[in-house]
Amino acid sequence: MEYHVLDNGLRLIMNRTEAPTVGIAVGVGIGSIYEDKNMRGGISHFAEHVVYRAHPNIDLEIEGLGGVSDAYTERTLTMYLFEIIPSELENLLRLIYRLLSNRKIDSEDLEKERQVILSEIKMRNDDPGTLIYDLGPKSLFGDSDYGDPVIGTDESVSSIMVKDLMDFLESYYTPDNTVISIWGGPIACQLIR
């Protein structure tokens, strides 16, 4: 395994292995427990949605490169996952850069994602198996950062505005707060050099 810190602070971990695909995990060091008290609860999760919303055809673009993607937010981080065929690695890296460096948020897109997240909150609250994911930490940690739901609440998500998200991305989606891990064959890792 190789570990590099680039001049801009971005940490890069590469593991060379024989595999038919290359996996890339992009971790951003912000999750719900690190949300400043002045932030709205669930803003880390909202930002994850907005990053993808800025590129409405992202899934099709990644499929066109022979890959798949996923993303999730936890209490300690936000993670973006990609798997691609090795020959398309350079194109995927360009796409990841566009995703994570975008700071333009359209108010119409923000409202669409707000409705998606509010729907997710409703579904979570209606499903005991999923709701326990929030109730367990709440019962252990109470009204603390660890007890708050990662996804936020109806009230907190409804109060997040475009400027809140733009400021959030500018503050936390930075190279020195990001780790990229690449797991793939020797050819894929040579492309990174």
Measured in residues, the chain has a length of: 193
The tokens describing 68, both together, are 């798949």
Rounded Cα distance between 40 and 32, Å, is 10
- Residue 48 falls in the annotated catalytic set: yes
Burial 113-138 (b: 16+ CB within 10 A, else e): bbeebbebbeebeeeeeeeeebeebb
Q: Which of 48, 83, 88, 113 is catalytic?
A: 48
Rounded CA-CA distance 11/143 in Å is 33
CA dihedral 153, 157, 159, 161 (to 10 degrees): 160
Question: Catalytic positions, please?
Answer: 48
